[in-house]
Amino acid sequence: SIEATVQARLSIILIFPMTSLILICVVYWLFGQLWPVFATAGVGLIAIIWTFAVAIIVDPQINLMLAMVPAVMMVVSFSDIVHLCSCYLLELQAGKEGREAIVKSCSEVGLACWFTSVTTFFGFVSMAFVPTPVFRMLGVILGLGVAIALVLAITLVPIFFSLMATPKV
């Protein structure tokens, strides 16, 4: 029990920040600009906070499996946002104006993100059929987290794009 608590703290205090730092570096390396880093990290953190809040409301006991939720959610939430940022830049390179690029990129990539998120959602929720209560809770929370990350990505990222200055391509 004490070792499980130590490992849960290690996951939240060390593994989650290291995962986040690696993902931030990869996003910066991919785009060479800071605005995609702020978009992915900002929306990702909001998705993690909401997901973890739901997990704590459902069960206030943080076990070793639930301690993995922040790191897994950071990876899951980054993918949709990276796709949105990439398509936005491609639309700008194609000569579209800012608003038009936002609408086109979010409508095209938003549908693809929907399909990947639905499959990931069902993949995680299928863990709810495992006869171990800890895995059931983890599957439900991660499935809910995927849904939260998708909703936040397709709502907050276009808002972020519209508020920031049009990036140079």
DSSP conformation letters of 83-136: HHHHHHHHHHHTT--HHHHHHHHHHHHHHHHHHHHHHHHHHHHGGGGSS-HHHH
Quick check: 5 pLDDT over 90? no
Please write the tens of the pLDDT for every residue from 35-68: 999 999 999 999 999 998 999 998 888 787 888 8
Please write the tens of the pLDDT for every residue from 94-131: 999 989 999 999 888 988 999 999 999 999 999 989 89
The pLDDT confidence band at residue 1, using thresholds 50, 70 and 90, is low
Q: What is the pLDDT of residue 63?
A: 80
Q: What is the pLDDT of residue 168?
A: 81
Query: Are the CB atoms for 40 and 85 separated by under 8 Å?
Result: yes
